[in-house]
Amino acid sequence: MLIQGAQSQSILLVEDNVNLLFALSALLETEGYRVRTAKAGAEALDLCATQELPNLIILDVSLPGIDGYEVCRSLKANPKTSKIPVLFMSALSATKDKVRGFEVGGVDYISKPFQVEEVFARVKTHLELQALNQALAAANLFNQQIISSAGEGVVVYGRDLRVQLWNPFMEKMTGVSAVEVLGQHPGEVFPALVSAGIIARFERILNGEAVEELDFQWRLPNGKVLWVAASCGPLLSVNGETLGVIGEMRNISERKRNEAELEEVRAQFALSSRLAGLGVLGSGVAHEINNPLAIVSGNLRLLARESDARAKALIEKADNAVTRIANIVRSLQTYAQAGSSGLEIVDMVEVVKKTLALITPLLQKDGITVELSSVTKVAHVKGNLSKLQQVVLSLLSNSCDALIQGGAGGAPKSIALEFKAEAIESKDGGEHLILSVRDNGHGIKPEVLPRIFEPFFTTKDPGKGVGLGLSICHGIVTSHGGSIWAESEPGRGATFHFSLPTCKC
């Protein structure tokens, strides 16, 4: 650190004794200082107001007009001159006079008569102290500017874990101002930091432990949730003593969203690959299975004519198994043909109404009510009418099954269908028609939800379902350029959505 030399430093000497004024001024100049002089307090204040500020002031106490104490008080009250060190010089050597000098802002007191070497030593000491203080203030300002302009959050906690610094990025990231947190314990302002284990990490740091960077979800007081990467370490004094904790916080919400989206894309790709393989299997093997099945079924019927009652019962069970195999093969054939061939302009409202006309009597029989609402006038898509009707029917049937299993919790069983058209994120970037089928059944378990569109995956009892219904829906919807997904909370029902590009016609 560089300290200014005497040649560049100036001193204002204020003394009403002309002989002493010129003698001391000459002596200071021989030491390389630039010296200006004043014989009165008012003159000294005027020089500080109109000329270059001195680095140090030597001030006599007994001055005509305004005494040295009042001059010093005025200098300290002015922000422009408040940092200039003032050395009092006076024949008044009583303790009360010295104390008064320190009270008004003086940094030292030289009693007359004085030794020249003592004056030089005190002047040099206070100029060096002033230079050091200025350098320290500049360093603090520089560090403060770096912290304030940092592109990540910086927080400093004392040993009591109360906030000592909260930089502007933290204010922007959290929506909480420094005024609201300075002097506060973070657990009082942000209770979520306690449950996330962040406060415990701070305490470990204060105990001398090292902690790794941690990614955590931070729920802010305004309800907003951020993903944050937090790295923390000890705030040390020059002798290595731990004074507190310094933490750096980075908002990684966008990165986490991208990772989640990438994982979803990977899962969708894996599912599409499996479904594509199933389509090839279905189209290739169905014919080979159907012919032998027909032979087996025919022979079983012939055997049944010539068998006793016990044999007929066994043959009937075998024939039922053959029928089940045939149904599975037909499902495979349906899936293999789930493409969007035979496209036409389809009014999805009409598709739903016609489907409801078919299934409503069955739903009513089981005490299930259905409500249809539409918040859009645009309900036309380009697609295969029968296959789109199959999707609607399959989703309604799934909801019906869930309600029959008694998941409504004693409430009236209901299914709600809703249409809306809106711009969604898709390959074409256009407007999509979204149909939602919502029931108040038992819902879908979190561990099951990611697998519901997998072929042959079913939660129904053996013999109750093949596990291809939703896979077929997925194939039909995606072949029409749309998407299908589900939302559910156990015990609170499930909602299936599928979107299709609208057709302006």
CATH number for position 467 = 3.30.565.10
Question: Do 360 and 407 fall into the same domain?
Answer: yes
**For residues 81 and 355, which has the higher predicted lDDT (pLDDT)?**
81
pLDDT in tens, 168-214: 888 888 888 888 888 988 888 888 888 888 888 888 888 888 888 88
pLDDT in tens, 217-238: 888 877 788 888 888 888 888 7
**For residues 371 and 77, which has the higher predicted lDDT (pLDDT)?**
77
Question: Do 141 and 182 fall into the same domain?
Answer: no
Task: Tell me whether residue 270 is in a domain.
Answer: no
Q: Tell me, what's the pLDDT at 2?
A: 38
* CB 201, CB 214: distance < 8 Å: yes
Q: Tell me, what's the pLDDT at 277?
A: 54
Question: Do 293 and 318 fall into the same domain?
Answer: yes
Helix (H) or strand (E) run with residue 226 in it: strand 225-236
Question: Do 134 and 233 fall into the same domain?
Answer: no
Stretch 408-431: mean pLDDT, rounded? 68
Residue 43 pLDDT class (50, 70, 90 cuts) = very high
Task: Tell me whether residue 162 is in a domain.
Answer: yes
> Of 320, 336, 352, which residue sits at a domain end?
336
Question: Do 173 and 29 fall into the same domain?
Answer: no
The Cα 421–Cα 434 span in angstroms is 6
- For the chain, the first-to-last Cα distance in angstroms comes to 78
Q: Is the model's pLDDT at 65 over the cut of 70? A: yes
Highest-scoring range by mean pLDDT, 415-419, 425-429, 475-479: 475-479
Question: Do 393 and 327 fall into the same domain?
Answer: no
Q: Tell me, what's the pLDDT at 37?
A: 92
CATH number for position 13 = 3.40.50.2300
Question: Do 58 and 154 fall into the same domain?
Answer: no
The Cα 85–Cα 333 span in angstroms is 96
**Which pair of structure tokens corresponds to residue 68?**
């040295």
Structural domain count, the chain: 4
Residue 13 pLDDT class (50, 70, 90 cuts) = very high
Q: Which residues contact 405 (CB under 8 A, 6 or more apart)?
A: 441, 442
The Cα 247–Cα 450 span in angstroms is 37
Question: Do 91 and 74 fall into the same domain?
Answer: yes
Residue 4 pLDDT class (50, 70, 90 cuts) = very low
What stretches of 29-128 adopt beta strand conformation (E)? 34-38, 56-60, 86-90, 108-111
Q: Tell me, what's the pLDDT at 155?
A: 86
Helix (H) or strand (E) run with residue 28 in it: helix 18-30
Question: Do 162 and 308 fall into the same domain?
Answer: no
Question: Do 313 and 460 fall into the same domain?
Answer: no
Q: Look up the domain containing 217 and give its range.
A: 150-251
Question: Do 420 and 361 fall into the same domain?
Answer: yes
Task: Tell me whether residue 273 is in a domain.
Answer: no
Residue with tokens 């059944």: 441
Q: Is the dihedral of CA 364, 369, 370, 373 positive or negative?
A: positive
Q: Tell me, what's the pLDDT at 1?
A: 36
Q: Is the model's pLDDT at 263 over the cut of 50? A: yes
Q: Is the model's pLDDT at 58 over the cut of 90? A: yes
Q: Is the model's pLDDT at 332 over the cut of 60? A: no
Task: Tell me whether residue 17 is in a domain.
Answer: yes
